[in-house]
Homo-oligomer: A and B are copies of this chain.
Amino acid sequence: MATQTDPTPRIPLTRERVLRAAITLADAGGIEALSMRRLGQELGVEAMSLYNHVANKDDVLDGMVDAVVGEINDIVSEIEMPSGDWVTAARRRILSARSVLLRHPWAPGVLESRTNMTAPMLRYFDGLIGLVREAGFSVDLTHHAMHALGSRALGFTQELYDDSDDLSDEAMMMFLQQMSGEYPHLVGMVQEISHDDDSTLGWCDDQTEFEFALDLILDGLERLRAAG
């Protein structure tokens, strides 16, 4: 008898495991799929047991964000930096951060709902600040730069319009025809753009638009740096 091991020994619940399960849940079903009860269920435990390892749901969300930003920091720290070209260096960091966030679509929304900076975020921004300071940015310009980049520094911007469930091409054309009276400039733009493009899919390439705006800002900042 004595200490015969259980046939399926229960892995002990830890904060780590809770957060990992929460991220998996959110990755798969979106953030609205994440409830304390569902999370407990996923871990084979009652929801109330979770409170032995996390303070509350906000603590879970904080932990999830920290894990994702930690993932970003891991990648960024391995990037080799071309010295003397801060624009390329910053660009690489930011696009790397973006690639991580694309795997966690819920992360931007949760990130924006947290108002306090946590250690991993401080670390990320400390690195970016160091980069531009080394490139000769004044303290003031550095400060403005961080605000101008905002969430874009971490690789995301909230889109105001989601074209993921857009109309078919024919339905779209009919819709535009009807709307051209009220919104002539908008409809004109959409029609011309979708005409140029052969793709049946959405007419906005988020990656292209993100990079366009990023380059616009980085170029502007470089101009201000050079002007002194």
- Cβ of A37 < 8 Å from any Cβ of B? no
Return the CB mask of A147-178 against B: 1 if under 8 Å, else 0: 11011001001111110000000000000000
Whether B150 lies near A157 (C-beta < 8 A) is yes
Whether A183 lies near B123 (C-beta < 8 A) is yes
Question: Which residues on B sit within 8 Å (CB–CB) of A183?
Answer: 122-123, 125-126
Q: How far is the CB of A90 from chain B (nearest CB, A)?
A: 14
Bound CA–CA A123/B187 (angstroms): 11
Question: Which residues on B sit within 8 Å (CB–CB) of A130?
Answer: 184-185
Residue from B112, B115, B129 in contact with A185 in the complex, judged by beta carbons closer than 8 Å: B129
- Cβ of A200 < 8 Å from any Cβ of B? no
State the majority secondary structure of interface residues on A: helix
- Cβ of A79 < 8 Å from any Cβ of B? no
Whether A123 lies near B161 (C-beta < 8 A) is no
Closest to A147 in B: B209
Question: Which residues on B sit within 8 Å (CB–CB) of A157?
Answer: 150-151
Q: What interface size band does chain A fall in? A: 35 or more
Residue from B121, B184, B204 in contact with A160 in the complex, judged by beta carbons closer than 8 Å: B121
- Cβ of A17 < 8 Å from any Cβ of B? no
Whether B147 lies near A158 (C-beta < 8 A) is no
Bound CA–CA A161/B121 (angstroms): 10
Whether B217 lies near A216 (C-beta < 8 A) is yes
Closest to A112 in B: B158
Closest to A203 in B: B143
Q: How far is the CB of A82 from chain B (nearest CB, A)?
A: 19
